[in-house]
Structure 1
């Protein structure tokens, strides 16, 4: 439950909401698959840059614009579309997003040149924020005693989609061309989206606040809700730590003493699935013991990973261990912090998720830029130090979260 006047006002903004009906596990499975299929649309371009360059007659550097446009579009969609989940019925909202994403993917597949492809990528990123609507919805539909487990399972689908898009997209692109990748993505988006819509339970009428007022409530929510601020800082620092080393990892792996090709270095991304495998246990633990221990463990793992990364500059075993540990850490932290804010803010889950994800994205972007600068000046050890300092910053913020949760023990049940 919420603990401020803001949350009380938000509760009044949504009326006529019935108690959540029993939901079959099949729905949560389909939501996870749909999340993976749709978040993949943001990352489709990453393994296709050389194919764009050859097919459109442009440089590889110019082709990178497509990736940038998709990322900016996704950030914009989180900020401007996801809050609607609090005040609009989710079935029509998701229907519009799924239909628009499918059409735009087909437009990208038919793009005659870079400008159209980049514009389509930006729009695709903006409307394929479907997972960021589904995660709060899954939290709402889940029984309170299984909330973290359900959120964790949907997150598994999301992470698998991010990693799978890079691997499968590259393979399909090499075999059939980059346009086929976008056609396949359109088919998967339409199919998984349609099945999800068919399984969603009916909602009662919802009376929402005007759109301008809805957006204006976002900074107020952050200002007045300590639980949201805590989780933004805690996961923001950890995600920043993760982004710092992950952004520059390929530079280390393609130089001595490793000297791997870009393709071989890219396979290290598959180690990111370690976080997906560790997520179910974390969800069950959070449902029994609360999010605090998992958040603490995640930050400790991130700190240990920084040390392993530093040793991994010359020893492969330490490098692999570091990648595994930090990916587990980022998934544990994501599940725990989202479950926490959804429990404290049941009437503002979509807006809380928007504020949270924007804070995390900004932290990751700033940390990646800082890491790149440190790599140029201090090498890999400087990047590892950035990860360690950010993980330490998160650990220093833990006491504030613990004091707040102790004062409101039982409020998130």
Structure 2
């Protein structure tokens, strides 16, 4: 695969084949974090534990991912990206093997954390895309790779659900290991070398995350919106499999996973956000996205006990979250501070910390209040996003 160098920018230019490879890699790698969600019921039976105990796996995977974002992704500004990414692929493969062969729930918890911790490659490829893309193609390129990311999240649930029903929950992890080896080889051949932009020590690199957070109100606001939005999103997907096991559905993991195909409709529609944003303000795009998210929770409340209601809600929640997510990232990447990995670290750490919180709150809500408790949790998280966006987006000085 060829890549070209722009002599004025002194960096390789993002070609279509490379953009497609990055998009596919994002979707494949991020799936590692989500295979467990439609399989929680099967895992609970295999390890003879309760739904609350097995739900910890999903939460620990997200905590692991947030930790990897914090401690690994900033290195992309300090170490050559290609070398770092290929090294992390080896850690991903080892973590997936540990997941398959874990003999106890405690070791499965550790393996789940490590799967999340190592599967942070997409969060280095997104900033790389922002660096390589020309300014006029920045939004559309980010929109494409982020659509690949969300499609990976959704379709991984589909694959895991169906494969788990047929061959057991470990089978999807064997397939994931083979895919990691394949894409590691493809990236070794096609990924360009990009020189790091940070010259200091690792400690100074980590300290710069605090400095960026303190000095960039656009970044802080994007991180808060993303965290709360993903908290509600995670609350829904973590508990969907349990909701579908109850009356009136009495469905298994395959049905829960198949909702990923439905969510893909929203993800694909959100890919248009990158094009629309050139004609509509980011504030308006995000505000519209938040209203779509709020509408999804209303639909879940009214029609959550029917397949039609769940289908409509899934399309809305995926469309709303992905649209807001793309707009958030475009906003802080446009700052052009020469710190794309660190900016993305702050944002995505907040994003998945919010997802972990949403998973935890959802497990409590489900335990005590079942489906209506989960819906209320998601609605309140999204309502907070709306309040923060309206109060601070147009007046960033008030957010400092």
Class of the TM-score when normalised by the shorter of the 2 chains: 0.7 to 0.9
Give 1:401's aligned residue: 393
1:390 maps to 381
Distance 1:191 1:209, change over 3 A: same
Which one of 142, 158, 162 corresponds to residue 153 of structure 2? 162
2-side partners of 1:18 and 1:312: how far apart?
52
Question: More displaced, 39-48 or 73-82?
Answer: 39-48
For residues 349-388 of structure 1, the aligned pairs below 5 Å read 349-375=340-366, 380-388=371-379
Q: Unaligned stretches of 5+ in structure 2?
A: 1-7
**Aligned residue in 2 for 1:191:** 182
Q: For 2:60 and 2:69, how far apart are their aligned partners in 1? A: 14
Supply the distance in 1 between the matched residues of 2:126 and 2:308 (Cα, whole angstroms): 35
Q: In terms of mean alpha carbon deviation, does 173-182 or 288-297 score higher?
A: 173-182
Q: Any idea what the Cα deviations from partners look like across 1:312-350, whole Å, max 9, x if unmatched?
A: 145543332222111100111111101111112541221
State the distance in 2 between where 1:362 and 1:309 align: 24
In the alignment, structure 1 residue 277 sits paired with structure 2 residue 278: no
Residue 334 (structure 1) aligned to one of 303, 325, 331: 325
* Structure 2 CA distance for partners of 1:217 and 1:205, relative to 1, 3 Å: closer
**How far has the Cα of 1:64 moved from its partner?**
5.8
Match status 1:308 vs 2:292? no
Paired residue secondary structure (1:21): strand
Q: Distance in 2 between matches of 1:243 and 1:229?
A: 21
Aligned: 1:31 with 2:22 = yes
Equivalence for 1:86: 77
State the alpha-carbon separation in 2 of the partners of residues 370 and 50 from structure 1: 19
| 1:151 counterpart residue number | 142
* Mapped contact 1:296–1:398 kept (Cα < 8 A): yes
* Preserved CA contact (<8 Å) 1:70 1:121: yes
Greater shift in the superposed pair: 254-263 or 272-281? 254-263
Change in CA separation of 1:376 and 1:67 when aligned onto 2, cut-off 3 Å: closer
Indicate conservation of the 8 Å contact 1:97/1:127, yes or no.
Answer: yes
Out of 322-331 and 351-360, give the one that drifted further. Answer: 351-360
Structure number, greater radius of gyration: 1
Aligned counterpart for 1:101 among listed residues 86, 89, 92: 92
Note the C-alpha offset of 1:141. 0.9
Tell me if 1:136 matches 2:127. Answer: yes
In 1, distance between residues paired with 2:161 and 2:94?
A: 22
Q: Using the alignment, how far apart are the partners of 1:375 and 1:211 within structure 2?
A: 41
Give distance in 1, aligned partners of 2:356 and 2:80.
Answer: 32
Question: Can you give the 5+ residue segments of structure 1 that lack an aligned partner in the other structure?
Answer: 1-16, 406-413
SS at match of 1:102: helix
In the alignment, the residues of structure 1 paired with residue 247 and residue 43 of structure 2 have an alpha-carbon distance, to the nearest angstrom, of 29
TM-score after normalising by structure 2: 0.85
